[in-house]
Structure 1
Amino acid sequence: MIGLMMVCMFVAILSSGTAWAQKSLPTVRIGIEAPAGTNSHYYVTKQLGLFQKHGINIELISFPGGTVGLQALLAGDIQFASADGTAGLQANLRGANIYFVAGMINTFPFSILSKPEIRAPADLRGKKIVISRYGSSSDTAVRVAVEKYDLKPDKDVIILQGGGQSERFAALRAGAVDAAIVSPPLNLTGKRLGFNEVIDLSQSGIPYAHQQIVAVKDYLDRNPDTVLRTLRALIEGLAAWKDPAKKSVVIANVAKYLRLDPEKNKDQLEETYRYYGNTFSIKPYAMAEGLEFTAQ
């Protein structure tokens, strides 16, 4: 039996109603992965002043991968980490006591881009698809996606490791592979270059614990008020992303975070806003079915 502990700590009441003196705010460090659309909502939430509104002095710490972030969490260097469900499960199997307190993304935020001649998922039979690395969420996503279309991974399709999404996209452009799994805004870039978005996994309806907020039990037990205030800010940040009235300020902050020119890269920013507006959880529960799927 997997000793995964999960806490559904979604807070329905967002108002805190108290002005906090900066010097009195507890500092909370959240570990996130390198800048990408999937992580942009943390930055937007910070820039909107929502952590401070709820009595938190936030520090966003960037790590090259979720596994490194979990190591920092277990070492006590950060209070929360943004982690893939697989990494959290593996850490608990090794003896960690990690709780999943929120699910920011509970599906696969990926698209599979293919060569122009591949027009439908069935056309992937016998073709090479590049992922980041074996055992990663991109690997799981590709395997689940092709199985949904009655294709057997490693038999009907060839799955290759290729590194980060820039490297994977480069391999597709060079013709070294037939398809690549990417996240926005590269799906838009690919379609402009004539590649097909043959599968959009965000619309697949498949549950997957892709981006969870995790913390160790000891910290949760000792700091319940700080935990709740942190979650209030995160939830309000997701609501701001989904509020049409806040679209311009959200996009402006995403541009800063991703270092994109608001004018030259307007279409990429619009696509990032649209895509993740549909992908970020409305109610960010740590989804039990997503965690169970990860454990399979």
Structure 2
Amino acid sequence: MSMTRLRNPLFLLWVPFVLSVQFSSAQEKIILGLTTRNGSTSLPFVIAEEKGFFKAEGLNAIVVIMQNQVVVNGVVARNVDYGGTFSNFVGAALTGLPVRIVMSAMNGSDHYLVTAPNIKKVEDLKGKNFGISSFGGTPHSEAIMILRKHGMNPEKDVTFLQIGGSATRFAAMESGAVQAAMLVPPFSNFATKRGFNQLMSFNEIMNIPLGGLAVHTQRMKEKPDEIVKMI
């Protein structure tokens, strides 16, 4: 009986190594930074995580909640793989930082300016507290544009308080801690039912994309297929 000689004994060691590397690559943890799990622009990513859509694409993507600027700084430093916010990344890209927005979640804002019952117009906000999620975040940027559109100085005429997501901002309005906030449904609807004023939609000021997926330019070169799967 003749035996087939193994020409390359290292082959038996090489195959498990290759398979191990491939498996490890498929299971590499991907950090997706969001500012909240509850906002409408966050829902596509949260649903993808909870319903296993990321895993179906072979991605081990994990949503991590952090402050808006932390998301941007993390992507720039490559400690965070993807950012699920929008306005801060626009500013970062315009200043020359190596980040790009590769997807927009919405083609318009779902934020409404909601104010205390005694505030009937934007100009009445002078001297009042304005609740925002974080400095530089979308609600903050939108509030600044609304105030300027109505001839006010955002730096002097109101006091911005960094509070958190729409649910927290709504609670702050109910407690009287702030007299205005940019809220998304259903919190904007809850507010009007409880006597607060819904002065306007941000879309009345400007219609711009909202939410999205941002990434470091180097990752765009290194992992274009992964980016497509994330989208």
User: Normalized against structure 1, the TM-score is what?
Assistant: 0.57
* Whole-angstrom CA distance in 1 between matches of 2:175 and 2:217: 47
Amino acid at match of 1:60: V
Partner of residue 125, structure 1: 123
Deviation at 1:230, TM superposition (A): 1.6
Deviation at 1:26, TM superposition (A): 4.8
* Whole-angstrom CA distance in 2 between matches of 1:32 and 1:134: 15
Q: 1:49 aligns with which of 47, 52, 60?
A: 52
Residue-by-residue CA offset, 1:152-181 (whole Å, 9 max, x unaligned): 1228x9322122155644553355654332
Q: Does the 8 Å contact 2:87/2:141 carry over to 1? A: no
* Whole-angstrom CA distance in 1 between matches of 2:59 and 2:135: 37
* Whole-angstrom CA distance in 2 between matches of 1:139 and 1:60: 23
Query: Judging changes above 3 Å, is the alpha-carbon distance between structure 1 residues 136 and 76 closer, same or farther for their aligned structure 2 residues?
Result: closer
Q: What pairs up with 1:176-255 in 2 under 5 angstroms? A: 178-201=179-202, 203-204=203-204, 206-231=206-231
* Whole-angstrom CA distance in 2 between matches of 1:220 and 1:140: 27
Q: 1:80 aligns with which of 79, 82, 85?
A: 82
Amino acid at match of 1:172: M
* Whole-angstrom CA distance in 1 between matches of 2:69 and 2:75: 10
Q: Does the 8 Å contact 1:105/1:209 carry over to 2? A: yes
Amino acid at match of 2:35: E
* Whole-angstrom CA distance in 2 between matches of 1:181 and 1:78: 27
Partner of residue 72, structure 2: 70
Residue-by-residue CA offset, 1:4-53 (whole Å, 9 max, x unaligned): xxxxxxxxxxxxxxxxx987735333222232223222111223332233
**What do you get for the CA RMSD once the two structures are aligned?**
3.2
Partner of residue 161, structure 1: 160
SS at match of 2:84: strand
Q: Does the 8 Å contact 1:129/1:181 carry over to 2? A: no
> Is 2:21 the counterpart of 1:31?
no
Partner of residue 277, structure 1: none
* Whole-angstrom CA distance in 1 between matches of 2:216 and 2:192: 42
Query: Judging changes above 3 Å, is the alpha-carbon distance between structure 1 residues 135 and 223 closer, same or farther for their aligned structure 2 residues?
Result: closer
Query: Judging changes above 3 Å, is the alpha-carbon distance between structure 1 residues 187 and 24 closer, same or farther for their aligned structure 2 residues?
Result: same
* Whole-angstrom CA distance in 2 between matches of 1:89 and 1:141: 14
Deviation at 1:97, TM superposition (A): 1.0
Residue-by-residue CA offset, 1:236-292 (whole Å, 9 max, x unaligned): xxxxxxxxxxxxxxxxxxxxxxxxxxxxxxxxxxxxxxxxxxxxxxxxxxxxxxxxx
Deviation at 1:68, TM superposition (A): 0.8
Partner of residue 293, structure 1: none
* Whole-angstrom CA distance in 1 between matches of 2:219 and 2:76: 11
SS at match of 1:162: strand
Deviation at 1:184, TM superposition (A): 3.1
Amino acid at match of 1:222: E
Structure 1 unmatched ranges of 5 or more: 1-20, 232-296
Q: What pairs up with 1:273-288 in 2 under 5 angstroms? A: none
Query: Judging changes above 3 Å, is the alpha-carbon distance between structure 1 residues 180 and 218 closer, same or farther for their aligned structure 2 residues?
Result: closer
Report which of the two structures shows the higher radius of gyration computed on alpha carbons: 2
Deviation at 1:109, TM superposition (A): 3.0
Q: Does the 8 Å contact 1:66/1:84 carry over to 2? A: no
Deviation at 1:126, TM superposition (A): 3.3
Q: Percent identity?
A: 17
SS at match of 1:44: helix
Query: Judging changes above 3 Å, is the alpha-carbon distance between structure 1 residues 69 and 180 closer, same or farther for their aligned structure 2 residues?
Result: closer
